[in-house]
Chain A
């Protein structure tokens, strides 16, 4: 079996790559899939925190690549889901400690025994980005409805396309009341600018900050609306056709559209 190899990327930092990786991974695991999450943010790892397994780290990605341990030894099993695993990044090393070829090899090896390998990409488009996409076969671009995030996402979409990776969008932290009042771009605006297919829309929810601080992915809380949303994203990823909740309002950002038309 060869699992799917998906990189979660954005260009801009802080738009929710790590939170999306953790929650999507948990949602897939909840549906019985075997999932490995790979933190490629060497030096600034955080996926372990979001999953609440930071104290269980013994080995990391760099040690695997350097042959100091077996791949399986470095994998940490999630506390809640038996079929969810984390391969943590090293905290005190540099992104250059791993090459693109080494990364691709690790991802290939992981894909042999699981359904999904979700690769959490660092911010930016430097070495860490190139590593993160090296082993991927498809991409999820996470963005927020803000000009700066979309400009960065646009740049990343260009790089992913050049690398031949098919991609879909997750639009994160949408505030409906702001979209309605014309203070935030709508989902349609974002898709039009980026010319990319939509995978999911995640509303802004302050509970995310708390669950991140506590190391418990929000999908564990069945009563939270985000649990249902990540489950839908997981199903869409699996090929199901799941309708979108309509989050649009009839607004268009003139300044943005001119910004992109001008190049």
Chain B
């Protein structure tokens, strides 16, 4: 190849036909800045819904020291090895992957619980995600809260981001900061989580439009707040697998969109018209 570099015309003519490209999986980091807005729940549910669509999915818990994805999936007693065991080459990747109870297509790579985020080698993390992309259609990376080392390691191997945000000023401010820290050529997609339509109607909660007037991201989905999520987490059963759950349906719609299927607009839509937006506007127009 190198020889052609000096002769432009010849290079074009003699360029060999590229080998057929092997379809590689997408590596998507689920992030938010603020904690407790639903990153882990989103990762588990979108992952489970993608697997139900027949996609091969691996979920990577990047929250070293404070892992929770295993609990949300109900797999905590099956975790034998973790991310750091793989990165430090103590075990083979295949041995560390925990197969989901419900779906053949879904696997988990758990985080280490008793180690520190600083123990993760960034270059090795990147290489690991690359490897996973060869074997899976979707690699979903559950990012820790904050924007420290754990965030950087969660983002390094990804090629796309889903930003999870709740309709609260603090969450919007943190999400905005995170969008600014993601690579410039990405176009992160937004999930507005824990919307309470009755509060929006009363003017006591930001609407989806309010949130996105600040963030200006393609809207991937809207999830309503419901106590069922807490119950599902405590039980380790993602709602996405419950055909009767509306929240589950919203996660399935998000998964279908990610898988490239045509989906109708999100079911939860509430018009705005409250005075909260002015607070947000001044907040973001002010001193950084």
Contact = CB atoms under 8 A, between A and B. Distances in A.
Q: Are A and B genuine complex partners?
A: yes
Q: Bin the interface of chain B by size.
A: 35 or more
B34 interface: yes
Interface string B189-219: 0000000100100001110000000000000
Contacts of B276: 213-214
Given A13-B146, A148-B233, A213-B168, A124 B205 contact: no
B71 A151 contact: yes
Given A14-B34, A147-B234, A155-B65, 19 more contacts: A14-B145, A43-B147, A43-B177, A44-B177, A95-B146, A124-B65, A124-B66, A124-B146, A126-B117, A152-B66, A155-B66, A178-B231, A183-B227, A185-B234, A206-B204, A209-B196, A210-B199, A213-B168, A259-B71
Given A49-B173, A152-B66, A123 B35 contact: yes
Interface in A7-60: 11-15, 18, 43-44, 46, 49-50, 54-55, 57
Interface of B: 33-37, 40, 65-66, 68, 71-72, 76-77, 113, 116-118, 144-150, 167-170, 173-174, 177, 196, 199, 204-206, 227, 230-231, 233-236, 276, 279, 282-283, 286-288
B199 A255 contact: no
Contacts of B236: 255
Of the listed residues B145, B205, B283, the one surrounded by the most CB atoms of chain A closer than 10 A to its CB is: B145
Interface residues of A, number: 50
B169 A49 contact: yes
Nearest to B39: A13
Given A126-B117, A213-B169, A57 B234 contact: no
A215 to B, nearest CB: 8
Contacts of B147: 43-44, 94
Given A55-B282, A146-B233, A259 B76 contact: yes
A123 B36 contact: yes
A9 B19 CA distance: 54
Contact of A183 (B33, B118, B231, B287): B231
A147 B65 contact: no
Contacts of B199: 206, 209-210
A44 B168 contact: no
B113 A209 contact: no
Q: Which 4 A-B pairs have the closest CB atoms?
A: A13-B35, A14-B36, A123-B35, A13-B145
